[in-house]
Amino acid sequence: MSLVLRFAAPRAAAAASQARQRRRFLTWCLAPSLAVLFVITLAPMVYLVVVSFTPLNLTNPATAWRFDQPLLNYRLLLSDERFLNSLWVQAKLSFWTVGLQLAIGVGFALLLNLRSGLLRALRTVFLVPMVLPPIVVAIIWKVLYTPDISPVYWTFKALGLSLPALITDPNWALPAIIAADTWEWFPLTMLMVLAALQTVPEELADAARVDGANSWQTTAHVLLPYIRGTLMVAGLFRLIDSIKAFPLIYLLTDGGPGSVTEVTNYYAFEQAFNFSYLGFSSAITVVLVAATLLLSWVVVHMTGWGAAE
């Protein structure tokens, strides 16, 4: 007994010391990142919130660091029709882009869910729109929407039909943005769904078929429920990303005509960098950040990122 203790004690002590050293080592690995993230993300975010309590206007230095009416910007927001309109435009843009990208993504994925070398190779083709620099996507669609040089307009002309100037027509501008955004991002949902579909155990679909389900029923009652987690995550990601929509709107419509394509993020950009109202713009941005945080929280919980394994 005493013999065992005498040998075990130093070994246990050594192990404990190694564990301690290892913990210290891991802390040192993590510390620089946390310090950098603190300085470059947390501090600016705090600064943003502070600025949102001031009437900061870059053309008037006296407006900096004034906190006499800290909630003024937020009160103004509630009665600012352009802001309220931007929320509505944002809601429409998000609804249609997320909806279409999910619908088209799922549709194409179900269609292409075959084990075949050719289809596997074609998947690379579908990557192209989403890896292009967003500003290049905007240039591509600017070309398609410019009547003088657009193959789309030529085609209509050749058929004897006329197409309205989509991006300058108040009724068509938002749908035009939605179409471009859908082209850019449906491949993401499609590839996510395809990846998920290939994890569906074949017995599951086979069992449904044996029970007499046709392929529509199998899809609706077996495949889609099986991948609903992926669908949720894909939808949430596209939703969060749709709040950031910028290059397409900047290049195609500049928020117009009027303000029919002016989403909240774009309105914040204009207030800050076209009109110099940084305080007011910060308040708009704080609202957007809050929405993003909320949605990210949902994502973190759904995917178990935060959970210990």
Partner 1 sequence: MRANRIIIHVLAIGLAALVLAPFLWLVRMSFQTNADIFAFPPHLWFSPTWANYAALWQSEFRDSFVNSAVVTTSSTLLSMLVGVPAAYALSRMRSRSNALSLWIIASRLAPPTAFAIPYFLAYRDLHLLDTRLGLVVIYLTFNISLVIWLMRSFFENTPRALEEAAWIDGAGFWRALVSVVLPTAAPGLAATAILCFVFSWNDFFFALILTRSNAMTAPVAVVNFMNYAGWEWGRIAAGGTMVMLPVLVFSLFVRRFLINGLTAGAVKG
Identify which range of 5-13, 81-89, 188-196, 253-261 contacts partner 1 by CB under 8 A.
188-196
Task: Tell me how far apart the alpha carbons of residues 95 and 242 are, in angstroms, rounded to a whole number.
Answer: 9
Site for partner 1 in 130-169 (CB under 8 A): 130-136, 139-144, 148-149, 151, 154, 157-158
Measured from the CB atom, is 3 or 308 closer to partner 1?
Answer: 308
How far apart are alpha carbons 233 and 304 in whole angstroms?
Answer: 12
Q: Tell me which of 99, 175, 235, 247 binds partner 1, using CB under 8 A.
A: 247
Residue closer to partner 1 by CB (options 85, 276) is 276
Instruction: Kindly tell me which of 80 and 241 has the beta carbon lying closer to partner 1.
Output: 241
Q: Cβ closer to partner 1: 14 or 220?
A: 14
Smallest CA-to-CA distance from 244 within 228, 220, 264, 272 is with 264
* Sites for partner 1 among residues 195-214 (CB under 8 A): 195-196
For residue 257, is the peptide bond before it cis, meaning its omega torsion is within 30 degrees of 0? yes
Kindly state the smallest distance separating residue 207's Cβ from partner 1, in Å.
Answer: 19
In the list 83, 96, 172, 183, the residue contacting partner 1 (rule: CB under 8 A) is 183
Comparison of 3 and 114: residue with beta carbon closer to partner 1:
114
Report, in Å, the least distance between residue 256 CB and partner 1: 16
Using CB under 8 A as the binding rule, whether residue 63 contacts partner 1 is answered as no
Binding window for partner 1 (CB under 8 A); candidates: 1-9, 93-101, 200-208, 247-255? 247-255
Q: Shortest approach of partner 1 to residue 102 CB, angstroms?
A: 14
Which CB, 222 or 245, lies closer to partner 1? 245
Q: Could you say which of 8, 37, 91, 207 contacts partner 1 (CB under 8 A)?
A: 37
Q: Point out which span in 3-11, 75-83, 127-135, 167-175 binds partner 1 (CB under 8 A).
A: 127-135
| Residue 234 lies near partner 1 (rule: CB under 8 A) | yes
Render the chain in DSSP notation, one character per residue. Answer: -HHHHHHHHHHHHHHHHHHHHHHHHHHHHHHHHHHHHIIIIIHHHHHHHHHHTS--BTTBGGGTT--SSTTHHHHHHHH-HHHHHHHHHHHHHHHHHHHHHHHHHHHHHHHH-S--HHHHHHHHHHHHHHHS-HHHHHHHHHHHT-TTT-HHHHHHHHTT-----GGGSTTTHHHHHHHHHHHHHHHHHHHHHHHHHTTS-HHHHHHHHHTT--HHHHIIIIIHHHTHHHHHHHHHHHHHHHTT--HHHHHHTTT-STTTT--HHHHHHHHHHTS--HHHHHHHHHHHHHHHHHHHHHHHHHHTSSS--
Q: 288 with 265: CB under 8 angstroms?
A: yes
Is 87 one of the binding residues for partner 1 (CB under 8 A)? no
What's the CA gap between 271 and 280, in Å, rounded? 7
- Cross-strand bridge partners of residue 57: 60
Residues within window 102-121 making contact with partner 1, judged by CB under 8 A = 108, 111-112, 114, 116, 118-119
Binding positions for partner 1, 5-34, rule CB under 8 A: 18, 21-22, 25-30, 32-34
Q: What phi, psi does 288 have (nearest 5°)? A: -65, -40
Count of residues touching partner 1 (by CB under 8 A): 100
Binding test (CB under 8 A) with partner 1, winner from 98, 101, 166, 187: 187
Report 272-301 residues binding partner 1 (CB under 8 A). 272-273, 278, 281-282, 284-285, 288-289, 292-293, 295-297, 299-300
